[in-house]
Amino acid sequence: MSEVAVGALAARGDDLATLTHAEAAFVRTLVRAHAAIVLDESKSYLIERRLAPVARDTGAGSVSELVASLRSSPRPQLRDLVVDALTTNETSWFRDRHPFDALQHHVLPPLIDARRANRTLTVWCGAASTGQEPFSLAILIREHFPELSSWNVRIVATDISRTALEQARSGLYGQIEINRGMHASYISRYFQRDGTKFRLDNKIRSMVEFRELNLVGPWTGVPRSDLVLLRNVMIYFDPATKTQILHKIATDVLRPDGVLILGGAETTLNLTDEYTRVQKGTCGWYQRKAAG
């Protein structure tokens, strides 16, 4: 008997062969092995929908053909396209607001005091997606900490998704993206119209350097940082991967008095005891426990 078809795409009339359980399982295993992203079985429809453009662009007749081609000869280039298509790049400007309030009022002021002697501040944003998060931070710094304009401020923003990084580097955003959290007064201050889109001003773009980096690969070029933003990415990983990443940040990235900010649904609890949580009102962040 043939493998049982999954998803309801045929019923929806999509011009695609429906993925079999085995094909969907192959894709889930590949994405997990390469990027640690856990897609549960209920996400088969998502696999098919997201891979349809990849199938088209690579000349495969269908997603099933694309999967067959990967199964028969696992080419890294094709695999990367598949992984990229299956990342969720959901983001917005000043996302969740509270972390940015905390940065402005509680996190950055003491860090800046502590770094005044060498006037250097280094930030790593480890899942930057299309750039809204590191650019929001850059705008916040420019708006509220004018002193830093003469400092060496480095914001290194990384992500596994090449497509997301391409947009981040372009600084181009559509109306809907702008509507998601960008303050009206900042639109006139920091964006220029570019056709139907908005282009972020170079004075903000130049504050952020974007790089491709897989959080479960080598962390080449991740700087020792005063501040690490790793928000809304560990939700996709299993507990062992989260523990590994949090440990690596504590030992290799975060300075002893540095600050780690996670997403609202993320925590170090039950994963590692290398951090202390600091809570101020509605926002919490993490610091390394003092040695000894």
Ligand X SMILES: C[S@@+](CC[C@H](N)C(=O)[O-])C[C@H]1O[C@@H](n2cnc3c(N)ncnc32)[C@H](O)[C@@H]1O
Interface with ligand X in residues 98-127 (CB under 6 A)? 127
From 93, 91, 132, 101, select the one nearest 282 (Cα to Cα): 101
Is residue 244 part of the contact set for ligand X (CB under 6 A)?
no
Nearer to ligand X, 174 or 256 (CB): 174
- Residue closer to ligand X, measured from CB, 191 or 236: 236
129 binding ligand X? (CB under 6 A): yes
**Binding residues with ligand X: total (CB under 6 A):** 24
87 binds ligand X (CB under 6 A): yes
230, 262 Cβ separation under 8 angstroms = yes
Site for ligand X in 21-80 (CB under 6 A): 35-37
Q: Which of 216, 243, 255, 267 forms a contact with ligand X (CB under 6 A)?
A: 216
DSSP letters spanning 103-119: IIIIIHHHHHHHHTTTT
| Least separation in angstroms between CB 17 and ligand X | 27
| 136: alpha, beta or left? (left if phi > 0; alpha if psi -120 to 50) | alpha
CA distance 212 to 168: 11
For residues 279 and 256, give the distance between their C-alpha atoms in angstroms, rounded to a whole number. Answer: 18
- How big is the CA angle at 106 (ends 221 and 121), to the nearest 5 degrees? 30
Binding track, positions 151-190, relative to ligand X; x by CB under 6 A? --------xxx--x--------------------------
Q: How far is CA 183 from the centre of its chain?
A: 22
Which residues lie near ligand X (CB under 6 A)? 35-37, 87-91, 95, 127, 129, 133, 159-161, 164, 214-216, 231-233, 236, 263
